[in-house]
Structure 1
């Protein structure tokens, strides 16, 4: 690329903050795109911030014509399963229309490489499966839209499908929830309601968010338009492994409540050969991700109390 300007949507989110840092460190001019409803400031690493309603096609087109970014990293969207059950139309609008408007804007300006970060629900054979909730349905359509615009119009759109992202920065997923609860337990000396795990056998692949955004940069630089790039650590960990790691990294004994839910079928490992062929591989261990998430949460709670790391 001759220009090194990147527009990052969802810049104030968990992944967005790390992405702004990563691309800035790599020499990109980073423009953080925030929701008009956002009250936050531009994340560290961004050159400046812009505001736009991504479901407004005209506003998106005006923005892209003005900025003419060389690349777009699309992270924004409705990312809550619970919310999607209550507000399915809003979820679909937030995830699908925002993607279509960015694809259309890229088609008009004719220069942006666009990476859509999403996921497809797959069966144990790797085939597309029925969505279990409105959120999953919206993300599947988001990915399919990116493929369609490439196929129909030759848009330089690519898809990244990461596994469960973890690490510092306020992740809303399971490990982020446990990190916040564990630090609260540390502050109370373990006198806290137990954290409930459905079982100890369920397994998932966890990937550090910083490894993921390193992969996103590689795809935007070197990826093939129309392709899907799966990113995984390559190691499935049980909820028992998760509990053990938090127990070892915590500063106090943690109270747990473990259910006996039947073990679900393990999700299939996805083929990561496409991203690995570009030179990507995860470098952070699961233990490092958990320790960093705990340290980040401890520092955040200290700042909220008006203290400092040197108190």
Structure 2
């Protein structure tokens, strides 16, 4: 049985991917320090508790489990937090990735799937392709870009192969509600909008309403986490087939503004969201929308679950289930 070693597998995208990997016949090993992951979301393989920057524990785990490929999700991933705490982001995201690459080299693991981000691109008005210039405007995006460069340098020097997946805004939850988004540290926009619809005493903040977009609020490309998990599975198969290193965007190709998102949450939930406008946040591009044509052409990947209504329906159902845990 093929083994995939999943860093950050107790987190949001990681846990959905573990489910997809296991259902496709992979043996799953999760490596997570549980600082932002959740033990009860590890249901599709064994859990090894460890930190990426603990090189000896990491090497021992790789040596013991002998994976064919590593799927690397473990990272801190909040743009606002990265603006406040860049030191933490470089330590976790850059030093952690370097530690992983070194441990893979020492244990002869030659294949890596890396969760990167549209945050590497910065500000662009047009559809973003893999060839669009990367000019990150926040430390989170910068750490992901450095991670990409390290991976490509290791590929060139040591003969490893990688698939780098730059995904846009992960959203939604598993249709069977086996896992979902539980970001208690720094909730993102959809969970916050859902909280606004559930809790009449909560005010949903929209950061900026004069950003030059169609209604003045930030526009993002929301892609269902189940579709992201499918793309990661296809990336594993790509590497398993001996194919070359690649970079792919993962997005639905459609932008939704924050105001439109809040309207959709109200429509689907039947709740009413109290809203307020605040100044734009530093580090937030006005618009980020993907072209994922390359992933469709080479991986055969096309989002099947990423309509904004389906994203919100599944996120709403998960939030209702998870709030009573």
TM-score (ref. length: structure 2): 0.82
Q: Distance in 1 between matches of 2:285 and 2:73?
A: 29
Mark the runs of 5 or more structure 2 residues left unpaired by the alignment.
127-131, 174-179, 210-214
Kindly indicate whether residue 263 of structure 2 is the aligned counterpart of residue 240 of structure 1: no
Question: Quick one: structure 1 residues 24 and 251, their matched pair in 2 at CA, closer, same or farther if it must change by over 3 Å?
Answer: same
Alignment map for 1:141-220 (pairs within 5 Å): 141-168=146-173, 169-170=180-181, 172-185=187-200, 192-197=201-206, 198-199=208-209, 200-201=215-216, 202-220=218-236
Question: Quick one: structure 1 residues 157 and 81, their matched pair in 2 at CA, closer, same or farther if it must change by over 3 Å?
Answer: same
Bigger RCO (CA 8 Å, 6+ sep): 2
| Contact 1:29–1:47 under 8 Å retained in 2 | yes
SS of equivalent residue, structure 1 residue 302:
coil
1:267, distance to aligned residue in structure 2 (A): 3.5
Q: Distance in 2 between matches of 1:94 and 1:260?
A: 29
Kindly indicate whether residue 143 of structure 2 is the aligned counterpart of residue 128 of structure 1: no
Of 106-115 and 155-164, more deviation after overlay is shown by 106-115
What's 1:140 paired with? 145
Kindly indicate whether residue 76 of structure 2 is the aligned counterpart of residue 78 of structure 1: yes
What's 2:39 paired with? 41
Q: CA RMSD in A?
A: 2.5
Question: Quick one: structure 1 residues 259 and 279, their matched pair in 2 at CA, closer, same or farther if it must change by over 3 Å?
Answer: same
What's 1:109 paired with? 107
Q: Distance in 2 between matches of 1:57 and 1:18?
A: 26
Kindly indicate whether residue 258 of structure 2 is the aligned counterpart of residue 253 of structure 1: no
1:174, distance to aligned residue in structure 2 (A): 1.2
Question: C-alpha offsets along residues 59-87 of structure 1, whole Å, 9 cap, x if unaligned?
Answer: 32222112111121111112223333343
Question: Quick one: structure 1 residues 167 and 39, their matched pair in 2 at CA, closer, same or farther if it must change by over 3 Å?
Answer: closer
Mark the runs of 5 or more structure 1 residues left unpaired by the alignment.
186-191, 304-311
Question: Quick one: structure 1 residues 91 and 16, their matched pair in 2 at CA, closer, same or farther if it must change by over 3 Å?
Answer: same
SS of equivalent residue, structure 1 residue 280:
coil
Question: Quick one: structure 1 residues 162 and 193, their matched pair in 2 at CA, closer, same or farther if it must change by over 3 Å?
Answer: same
Displaced runs of 4 or more, over 3 A: 36-40, 258-272
1:155, distance to aligned residue in structure 2 (A): 0.9
Whichever of the two has the greater Rg, that structure is: 1
Question: Quick one: structure 1 residues 252 and 152, their matched pair in 2 at CA, closer, same or farther if it must change by over 3 Å?
Answer: same
Q: Distance in 2 between matches of 1:37 and 1:248?
A: 35
